[in-house]
Amino acid sequence: MKYRSILWLNGLCLLIVITLLAYTKYINPLAGALFMPPHFPNSLTEGLLTNIFQLLCAVPPLICAFSFIVLKKIAPQNKNNRFIFYSALVTLGFLMNEKYRIHIIFLADFGIPKFLTIVVYALIGLYYGITFRREIIKSTPYVLLLIGLGLLISGIFVDLLHLGSSSSSPLEGIPKLFSGINVALYYWLICYKEVVNSFK
């Protein structure tokens, strides 16, 4: 990467930070709130599995983005590059929602029901699945993806129907954790296969 590109990237990041600071100052007198440390748990186990789930959610977008960049260099004509690129975007969107609780913000700040936000996400996921089902997904170990999505849906239903005893119910958390494991494994396997095959 050339030094000019590095300067441009740093300049762009600085502009984003300044914009965020200005916006935060506008809605909140404490612009330093942007740099507040994360919640400090009372014990080692508090939120441990939730944090692990969020780390697992970060695996697919990172590995898909990295694989896409590699494949664009070494195999630009690879027919699966588009699938990996859109997989990075879809999984990044899910990670952002899971980390920043966008559906909760929409409910609290704009009165948009959580169910409606989930339906929009589900429609995006359905479109992604239909778009790539025949040409790519069927040739991958998609059972892992189906298991992951099934577990995620069951966790979401527990949350929506308030079947757990609290917001941190294992009935919601355990399916979501194993969903994260299976989805991360799915994207790891397909990206590994594509990158390795591109060197043959």
Q: How many domains does the chain contain in total?
A: 2
User: Is residue 43 one of the residues assigned to a domain?
Assistant: no
User: Is residue 42 one of the residues assigned to a domain?
Assistant: no
Section 33-43 average pLDDT: 73
The rounded distance, in Å, linking the Cα atoms of 103 and 85 is 24
User: Is residue 116 one of the residues assigned to a domain?
Assistant: yes
Question: Are 98 and 172 in the same domain?
Answer: yes
Place of tokens 């186990």: 45
Nearest CA to 64 among 191, 185, 199?
Answer: 191
* CB of 180 closer than 8 Å to CB of 53: yes
Section 63-80 average pLDDT: 92
Res. 106: pLDDT tops 70: yes
Pick from 18-27, 54-63, 86-95: least confident: 18-27
- Tokens found for residue 71: 């494949």
Question: Are 144 and 66 in the same domain?
Answer: yes
User: Is residue 127 one of the residues assigned to a domain?
Assistant: yes
User: How much is the pLDDT for 167?
Assistant: 55
Question: Are 24 and 101 in the same domain?
Answer: no
User: Is residue 169 one of the residues assigned to a domain?
Assistant: yes
Question: Are 153 and 183 in the same domain?
Answer: yes
Share of the chain above pLDDT 70, in %: 92
Coil/strand/helix, residue 73:
helix
Nearest CA to 180 among 155, 159, 157, 162?
Answer: 155
Res. 6: pLDDT tops 60: yes
- Tokens found for residue 28: 């909140």
Question: Are 111 and 20 in the same domain?
Answer: no
pTM: 0.83
The rounded distance, in Å, linking the Cα atoms of 190 and 155 is 25
Query: Domain range spanning residue 18?
Result: 1-36
* Backbone φ and ψ of 161, nearest 5°: -90, 0
The listed range with the strongest mean pLDDT (9-23, 51-65, 152-166) is 51-65
User: How much is the pLDDT for 188?
Assistant: 95
Question: Are 70 and 117 in the same domain?
Answer: yes
Question: Are 102 and 18 in the same domain?
Answer: no
User: How much is the pLDDT for 69?
Assistant: 94
Residue that wins the pLDDT comparison between 5 and 90: 90
Question: Are 85 and 31 in the same domain?
Answer: no
The rounded distance, in Å, linking the Cα atoms of 93 and 181 is 17
Please list the alpha-helical segments (H only) found in 75-141. Answer: 81-100, 102-110, 114-133
Res. 113: pLDDT tops 60: yes
Question: Are 57 and 119 in the same domain?
Answer: yes
